[in-house]
Amino acid sequence: MVEGEPPISGDLDSRVVTHSTTKNECIYACFLSMIKPKGIKKALQDVDWVKAMQEELDEFEHNNVWDLVPTLEGVSVVGSRLVYKNKSDEDGVIIRNKTKLSQQEGIDYDEPFAPVARIESIRIFLAFIAQKNFKVYQMAVQCALFNGKIDRNVNVQQPPGFEDPKFPNHSYMLQKAIYRLKQSPRSWYGTFSMFLEDSKFQRGSIDPTLFRNIYINHLIIIQIYVDDIIFDSTSKDLSDEFVELMKSKFRMSMMGELNFFLGLLVHQSPKGICIGQEKYIKNLLKR
């Protein structure tokens, strides 16, 4: 018993198992974070989603993404909204609630195009790896879009539900790219590809998301899909050096050997690489 708290009364096997929470309510609380909320009101009712939203906004502050400024007359302010997503592993088990602050449709953007690896390119990449009997590794750049610079002033509304009480009519002037800002993918790709080329990597002439570097008798190949990176090398030391190179510039999440990528289940063995779409098929059947 906790000092200062009233005792729990009644049968412990009855519906009431805490001071104010029933068994059904406990089960429901565990289930809430498995569901993507349909709006900010629903999200604010779930402690896990509140935590996810706060983590996203904390990242904005940590990375100096924006400045809260008075909204000047005549300045176009782009709407903002929170996007909710459950991140799952290769077995489809939800492992994390993620929230992204994104731009709503607006007119304040320039060239939006950015190269994205096609699934055919990924398959060719894996086929080459299997033929060479390499080991493929995977990592991701954390908050990748924050590394991209934007070349014009863009003002966005304060996040719904998280307005500054002292300055509710202010807006945020972006210093860096954000999720779903039309310029963001191109801005991030430009930053990342320039970093790789400055590090002596060569960009593919046909596939601009493929990079390679040759060190004497060793080769390293990199395939990027926005902020996800898969890579392999003829030398484990060279792979380790690449990981350290990435960590020196960006905040990285190292995921180890590749086993799940873009909906593909990947199994690596001395006999080759096996690709399956079991999770994709299960999701289709659920519909």
Average pLDDT over residues 239-248: 92
Evaluated on CA atoms 241, 242, 243, 245, the torsion sign reads: positive
pLDDT at 222: 93
Per mean pLDDT, which range of 232-236, 245-249, 281-285 is the poorest?
281-285
**What confidence category does residue 14 fall into, taking pLDDT thresholds of 50, 70 and 90?**
very low
How many Å apart are CA 51 and CA 56, to the nearest integer? 9
Q: Which amino acid does the sequence have at 90? A: E
pLDDT at 254: 78
Domain residue ranges of the chain, discontinuous segments joined by +: 23-286
pLDDT at 46: 80
Average pLDDT over residues 130-144: 86
The string of pLDDT tens digits covering residues 26-50 is 444 454 466 777 777 787 778 888 8
Please answer whether residues 38 and 49 qualify as being in contact, where contact means their C-beta atoms are separated by less than 8 angstroms.
no
The residue ranking higher by pLDDT, 81 or 2, is 81
pLDDT at 24: 52
The residue ranking higher by pLDDT, 276 or 166, is 166
Arithmetic mean of pLDDT over the chain: 77
53 has pLDDT over 70: yes
82 has pLDDT over 80: no
The residue ranking higher by pLDDT, 149 or 190, is 190
Evaluated on CA atoms 185, 191, 192, 194, the torsion sign reads: positive
113 has pLDDT over 70: no
Task: Report which of 266, 268, 231, 262 is spatially closest to residue 246, judged by C-alpha positions.
Answer: 231
Task: Report which of 83, 79, 71 is spatially closest to residue 103, judged by C-alpha positions.
Answer: 79
212 has pLDDT over 90: yes
97 has pLDDT over 70: no
DSSP string, 16-67: B-SSS-BHHHHHHHHHHTTS--SSHHHHTT-HHHHHHHHHHHHHHHHTT-EE
Which of 147-161, 219-233, 258-272 ranks highest by mean pLDDT?
A: 219-233
Task: Report which of 78, 109, 61 is spatially closest to residue 171, judged by C-alpha positions.
Answer: 78
pLDDT at 1: 43
215 has pLDDT over 50: yes
Please answer whether residues 231 and 201 qualify as being in contact, where contact means their C-beta atoms are separated by less than 8 angstroms.
no
Residue 169 phi, psi dihedral angles, 5° rounding: -95, 0
pLDDT at 277: 77
Per mean pLDDT, which range of 94-98, 183-187, 211-215 is the poorest?
94-98
Average pLDDT over residues 215-234: 89
pLDDT at 89: 62
Q: Side-chain half-sphere of 50: how many Cα atoms within 13 Å?
A: 7
Average pLDDT over residues 127-136: 86
Per mean pLDDT, which range of 134-138, 146-150, 195-199, 266-270 is the poorest?
146-150
